[in-house]
Structure 1
Amino acid sequence: MQVDVVTAVHASHAAFLPAAWRSLLDQSHAQWRWVVQIDGPPDEVRAVLTACAAMDDPRVVVASHGTSEGPAVTRNVALGRTAAPFVQNVDADDELEPDALAVLTTALIDHPGAGYAVGHARDLMADGLLVDHPLPIPAGVLPRGALLPTWKTSPTEYRVPVHPAGVMWRRSLLLALGGWSALQGMEDTGVLMAASAVVEGVLVDAPTLRYRRHAAQRSKQTSKFAGGGAQIALIRERAAVLSAFPPWNRV
């Protein structure tokens, strides 16, 4: 099954792209295409991709829109360039585990009623060490609405039950939800909670994402509670509205 892997990138994170590219080359699932969308000036990003030979691979398609719009808009522009039934996000500074595409596509094929699949995320430290984190929910089918009650959003304890940046989506569900949410630093959490409100998902019992920890990462720069409380309330309210609708059915 074909998968389009979407990466939004700006110049400050261009140096991480070769590692993301190598993680795609290592995939046990070979039917993928890398849809890279450049946010802001493109020259540095294109130079990095050229130097690592990614631009020589016909499976790599790169585009830029010239202006600086942020990750949500950039991912959605990339989404408009996809065509595969499954869409996998990978941030420019992260990596996919070697079996990520294989286990996530298998999960969606085996569970035709599921709209998304996600695995475990491991922190990738600067020294290359991978740090596992136990999840608060068991692997298997995630019933409709299961994620919202397990999303901890107090100022003293913030935790999303699964890592929203490593989700594989049915493209038709992403389109139905309007793509990634127009939020600051929570665009992937917003769409994940909306998805959970309308359809079941699958949590696979395997690591699929390597989440790089570094000083420049955006999640460290934007506090969830410096104006984020209103965003959290909006995500929760939207999920409550969606949960009252009939369940989403794939087309």
Structure 2
Amino acid sequence: MTQKSGDDPAAPRISIVTAAHPKRLDYLPDTSRSIEQVRQRLNRAATAMEWIVVVDGPGADEGLVAQVKADRIHRLPIAQGVSAARNHALAMSQGEWVFPVDADDMLDADGFTSLATRTFDDDIVWVASNRCWLDDRSPTPRWINGTRRWRRYELEEEWTSPFPFHPNNMMVRRTTALSFFGWPGLGVNEDVGYCLLASAAGAGLSLPTVTLLYRRWEGQTIRTEGYHEAKMQSFLTMEAVINARRRQAGLQPIKAPYPSPF
């Protein structure tokens, strides 16, 4: 198949990327059905999309994989972690915008369609949105109450924990995400690092639109023993990286916040 460039008018407007652990695919068919709902709505709106799934290593249940209606399913020969899997999907993508969806979550059809068909100013390189709990559709923590425009660097300079919005609910221009190499190689809170890198690349928006439905279950990383300690280390690593870049740009250093438990 011929690779389309990001400037090709026939290329997708948005690429959904999913990193899938080969032993945690039970909910991926649900994710697939929600994405198909969105695809149908976007087709009616004459807006192209694609979904790329990267299975992070061998051992997947092929019966579950067969239920997935992705545009591309790529299997990594060895496990490389969620950041690497997402970055492989990012490199394979063709859309103007990229949005991550985990293999246990679902899209909100109305909200995501609204976001994917909305026009943004050329200087906006990232857009954050809301998510609700899947089981009761109630708001998750880190809720966006109103529209806000963020200048470049503002998100890292006002870094708080909890984050101002859910850090895994950010749509980023594909060329921007590729320019900073996507998700950093961290075992936890790589999504926070991704947001801060996007913030350093340009201006953004946070919108109260609900785009994703977030599943509560025991297999989530945030429920594992040692998560908070790992989060503290990730924050310190991000602080060091951010400040090295800021020194080169002649900017004042920032201080990472003390990590909240969620």
Q: TM-score scaled by structure 1?
A: 0.82
Alignment check: 8 A CA contact 1:194 1:238 kept: no
Asked if 1:48 is matched to 2:64, the reply is yes
C-alpha separation between the residues in 1 aligned to 2:165 and 2:76? 31
Cα distance in 1, alignment partners of residues 196 and 220 from structure 2:
22
Give the match's secondary structure for 1:209.
strand
1:37-64 CA distances to partner (integer Å, 9 max, x unpaired)?
Answer: 00122541x32132x3x34xxx521110
Q: 1:25 aligns with which of 36, 40, 44?
A: 36
> Identity of aligned pairs, percent?
24
Q: How many residues align?
A: 231
**Normalized against structure 2, the TM-score is what?**
0.79
Which residue number in structure 1 is paired with residue 54 of structure 2?
Answer: 37
- Does the alignment pair 1:15 with 2:26? yes
Question: Which of these residues, 79, 86, 94, is aligned with residue 90 of structure 2?
Answer: 79
The answer to whether the 8 A contact 1:42-1:64 is kept is no
Note closer, same or farther for the CA distance 1:222–1:195 as it changes in structure 2 (3 Å cut): farther
CA 232–224 in structure 1, closer or farther in 2 if over 3 Å, else same? farther
Summarize the Cα distance change of 1:171–1:151 in structure 2 as closer, same or farther, 3 Å threshold. Answer: same
Aligned residue in 2 for 1:164 = 167
Instruction: Return the offset for 1:131.
Output: 1.8
Tell me which residue corresponds to 1:132: 139
Match of 1:155 in 2: none
CA shift for structure 1 position 106: 4.2
Q: What residue ranges of structure 1 are gaps of 5+ in the alignment?
A: 153-157, 247-251
Residue in 2 that maps onto 1:97: 108
Distance 1:150 1:131 in 2: 27
For the residue of structure 1 that corresponds to 2:154, the secondary structure is: coil
Letter in 1 for 2:42: H
3-state DSSP of counterpart to 1:188? helix
- Correspondence list, 1:111-150, <5 A: 111-124=121-134, 128-133=135-140, 135=143, 138-150=146-158
- Separation in 1, partners of 2:175, 2:103: 24
Give the conservation status (yes or no) of the 8 Å contact 2:188–2:230.
no
